[in-house]
Structure formats: structure tokens, C-alpha cells
A and B are shown apart, each in its own frame.
Chain A
Amino acid sequence: DTEVTQTPKHLVMGMTNKKSLKCEQHMGHRAMYWYKQKAKKPPELMFVYSYEKLSINESVPSRFSPECPNSSLLNLHLHALQPEDSALYLCASSQIESLNEKLFFGSGTQLSVL
């Protein structure tokens, strides 16, 4: 299995809703990432987990809450989002967190906040 799987593929939520994005990989990778990608823009790093511990938070607002329950799963909990948070949320993984590890991306969750 060489894939990073994300669910759901599409999500529409109101500003008062609470929802979660899920990411799963079975490649034995020990680093997992959340990226945000706005239309026609490059992906922007949000969080990095290394060996199930949060190692990087790129000053992301607290309405985004990541969680890494085990080495295969990564969640992103969403609460009180704003319309400007609408974007494609990409999960990625790599073998370990190091300077030149290849990143494998999931297909993303297209999020719309109304």
C-alpha cells in the first residue's frame, strides 16, 4: 500500500459546526503533515507530527486542532471556522521527519465554510 487516504473528499460546514478530517497511511511512515492549499496557490504547511508527537505548528489558529492517535492516523479537528478557511486540506507522510525525505500526499479534502 503506497497511498495516503483522506476522508471525506468534500466537506461543507457552517461556521458553528464541529467536524474532523481524517488521514491514514499504511506505509510505516513516522512523520505526518497537514497542508492547506488555496485555489491556484502552493500548499502551505500547517502541522508536522513526528513519531506521533507534534513537532511543528506553523502558527495555525486554534480553531484547527490536530491529533495523531497512532502512527497510521492523523486527524484535523475543525471548530468555529471562517469562510476564508475554505481550501483544499492535504495530508502527507514521509518515512521520518528529516531534511530530505520524500513526501507522499493524499488526495485532499475540499472544505467549504459557509
Chain B
Amino acid sequence: GENVEQHPSTLSVQEGDSAVIKCTYSDSASNYFPWYKQELGKRPQLIIDIRSNVGEKKDQRIAVTLNKTAKHFSLHITETQPEDSAVYFCAANTGTASKLTFGTGTRLQVTL
């Protein structure tokens, strides 16, 4: 089955700095890679996703890059704000169904 590794487990940045979270996956058949943000006590919310036929996708301050050859993908957040503080999960989707395998999560803390 798919295995998704995520690093770092915690990340602290100052407001205005950039944050980068990296994930690797094991199944070369994986072709869909969403990122979820989960604030404390709240639901996971999809913030950006990328499909395997695309190398990079950007949405305002958030971007995701995908390297299929190396089987890794990354989340980039620029100009971080305190409201970006949350746990971020990467995921990969393989198989014949919407069967997401999540990474272990990164707790991002944006300090003033």
C-alpha cells in the first residue's frame, strides 16, 4: 500500500517568513496530492491540491510543487500570518477509489 512521510513534524516561523513542508510517497501510481489544514478542534479543510500531470500550482500565498521522479511534493506558504498556525497534512491518493493516505502532519506555529 501507499506510505506517505511528512517533515518536519513541527515548524515555527516568524510572521512574514515563508514555511515549507515536504512529503514523500512510495507508490508511483499515486496521482493526486491534496493538502489539508486542521485548526485545533476543527475539521480538516482542503487548501490546495495537485494532480500528477502538473508540476506546480499556486493559489495566492500557497503553492504546491510535485516531483514525480523523486516521488515528493511540497507545500510552500509565503508571507505567513498568525492565522496560518495549524496542523497541515499532506496526502496521496491511489487505487481505484478515493482512498487517501495521509502524512503524519506538521504543526505550524507562526509567531509575532
Contacts and interface: CB of A to CB of B under 8 A. Distances in A.
Decide if A and B are genuine partners: yes
Interface of A: 31, 33, 40-45, 48, 50, 55-56, 90, 94, 97-108
B89 interface: yes
A98 B98 contact: yes
Nearest to A4: B43
A42 B97 contact: no
Given A43-B89, A99-B97, 14 more contacts: A42-B102, A42-B104, A43-B100, A45-B100, A48-B98, A56-B97, A97-B97, A99-B31, A100-B31, A102-B34, A102-B49, A104-B46, A105-B43, A108-B43
Interface in B60-112: 89, 93-100, 102-105
29 contacts: A41-B104, A41-B105, A42-B89, A42-B103, A43-B44, A43-B100, A48-B97, A48-B98, A55-B97, A56-B97, A94-B98, A97-B97, A97-B98, A98-B97, A99-B32, A99-B94, A99-B96, A99-B97, A99-B98, A100-B31, A100-B32, A100-B51, A100-B98, A103-B34, A103-B46, A104-B46, A105-B44, A105-B45, A108-B43
B43 A90 contact: yes
B104 to A, nearest CB: 6
10 nearest A-B residue pairs (beta carbon): A100-B32, A42-B102, A105-B43, A107-B43, A105-B44, A97-B97, A101-B98, A97-B98, A42-B89, A94-B98
